[in-house]
Amino acid sequence: MCGILAVLGCSDDSQAKRVRILELSRRLKHRGPDWSGLHQHGDNYLAHQRLAIVDPASGDQPLFNQEKSIIVTVNGEIYNHEELRKQLPNHKFRTDCDCDVIAHLYEEYGENFVDMLDGIFSFVVLDTRDNSFLVARDAIGVTSLYIGWGLDGSVWIASELKGLNDECEHFEVFPPGHLYSSKEREFRRWYNPKWFSETVPSSPYDPLVLRHAFEKAVIKRLMSDVPFGVLLSGGLDSSLVASVTARYLEDTKAAKQWGAKLHTFCVGLKGAPDLKAGREVADYLGTVHHEFEFTIQDGIDAIEDVIYHTETFDVTTIRASTPMFLMSRKIKSLGVKMVLSGEGSDEIFGGYLYFHKAPNKKEFHEETCRKIKALYKYDCLRANKSTYAWGLEARVPFLDKDFINVAMDIDPEEKMIKRDEGRIEKWVLRKAFDDENKPYLPRHILYRQKEQFSDGVGYGWIDGIKDHAAKHVTAKMMLNASHIFPDNTPTSKEGYYYRMIFERFFPQNSARLTVPGGASIACSTEKAIEWDASWSNNLDPSGRAALGVHVSAYENQVNSSVGKGVEPEKIIPKMKVSPLGVAILG
């Protein structure tokens, strides 16, 4: 993937304007350090910063159809590009790049081709035949994209805020699953899956169907002409991605080019839960494993860079982005350009610990729908921008369109957490890969309790940045917070600290409106806080804020038996809550 910038309908076609657009495009160079391109047609400019993953030799952008009447700048990966080429027998392609199909599909089908794409993408199509344009973003918002409007009537499109925020009178997040056409001048949703209506499904759970759908999602993401690996925290999601990748890597084109030995990567403070679990999974799978340790001070020193790159002041996102940002730099230094990651599973299966308190299957399902729809504001943004800060691409098989359709069609009663039956969070996913004949993972890893990434890298990380923020934000500052920041007012010193840094980089009102807000408990939506009255007094996005659920909850801090190899499914059903709300392992 890459970084894109488009200026459409600009009133200035001077050399000075071209130089300015090149300057703005260079702000996205970290996303695509391999090549730069700019094409001007009349009052339209399409710029591109390329990270070459497929066809590095000839896939430079912008891309064109055969007659060069249709021009495209794309940030994405189209996994079914070979099948799509077969549907276009009369078209001559200029490159073997997966994104080359977009211009030809538009030429053949017009604006209605977007749903044919299986992949992740943000793109701009310029049709010089009538000077019209089309902009689209992938279904869930794995790729980042923004849209802005200039005083001269121009429309600006960029992969990141920093590409357009200084030039636009107003700008906003381009909504995922939508397209924007110059002919209609409004957003239209092209992604319309059955689950989007939030109607409760009733299909029976079939573990093999779910397993095979996920395996297909992983396999299609092994499309690469450059070295790649898997981010492996040792939690369920990343471990399954690594396990499936290791199982099927040998038969891929990538293995023939770069070898069938999978590389895995993990980050954490010294002694962190993720480092231990990740190493154990890597040993089990036989991967070439790379561990990166960081200190709390390393993370604190990186926070300004993290906020600049992620373009957010959301507390959860910054907590988790910082170790991912540090790890991505190390990974890129090894010559790796693409990684697979485990984002999306918790949203689809109700994996966050607060789902233990879901009152019924209807509310459980509706919350998963809300979480998936909001991913582009949180985990997708983190995975995309904290890796692309160093020219590293992250692919997320759990957010495959076909896999989501299968997983979200399961009767949510099957996903519900039932301690008395030994069913912990994400039970349906764990059960789908619980194969005694040919195990995918060690059983205690398969049933390891959920750790949010910012917790799993070491509990001291969150505690350390809270302490750091407390030294720089006074009580008097917090008293005036609603006057200084009337929109999305920080409710903690940590949040205030991040907000000050963000405002320095992105002072425009439009910028702060792109960042989500609202109360949260253990990464819940605001609606789910209603599930437990005590949560409103303990608002914090860490999983340890799920009092009475997490084995290392803030008010408990007991030693978990998980580290001793005891299966969490044996622990959680025995967890009781005292009258004081303290979790007791019995």
Cβ-contact 174, 180 below 8 angstroms: yes
**Nearest alpha carbon to residue 240 among 398, 392, 120, 422:** 398
Q: Between the CA atoms of 500, 502, 507 and 510, what dihedral angle is there, to the nearest 10 degrees?
A: -130
CA dist 343 and 64 (Å) reads 33
Using DSSP, state whether 122 is helix, strand or coil: strand
Residue labelled with tokens 């049933």: 447
Q: Which residues contact 455 (CB under 8 A, 6 or more apart)?
A: 273, 462, 542, 543, 544
Q: Name the residue type at position 283.
A: D
Catalytic residue among 2, 10, 97, 266: 2
Q: Which residues contact 362 (CB under 8 A, 6 or more apart)?
A: 200, 412
Query: Is 168 labeled as catalytic in the residue annotation?
Result: no
Known binding-site residue numbers for ATP: 231, 267, 341-342
Known binding-site residue numbers: 98, 231, 267, 341-342
DSSP 8-state symbol, 423 = B
Q: Which two tokens stand for residue 85?
A: 């080429």
Q: Cα–Cα distances in Å, from 267 out to 133, 294, 309, 392, 468?
A: 42, 7, 19, 16, 21
CA dist 63 and 74 (Å) reads 8
DSSP 8-state symbol, 418 = B
Q: Cα–Cα distances in Å, from 409 out to 196, 201, 210, 413, 563?
A: 11, 5, 10, 11, 35
Known binding-site residue numbers for L-glutamine: 98
Cβ-contact 410, 428 below 8 angstroms: yes
Cβ-contact 368, 412 below 8 angstroms: yes
Active centre residues (catalytic): 2
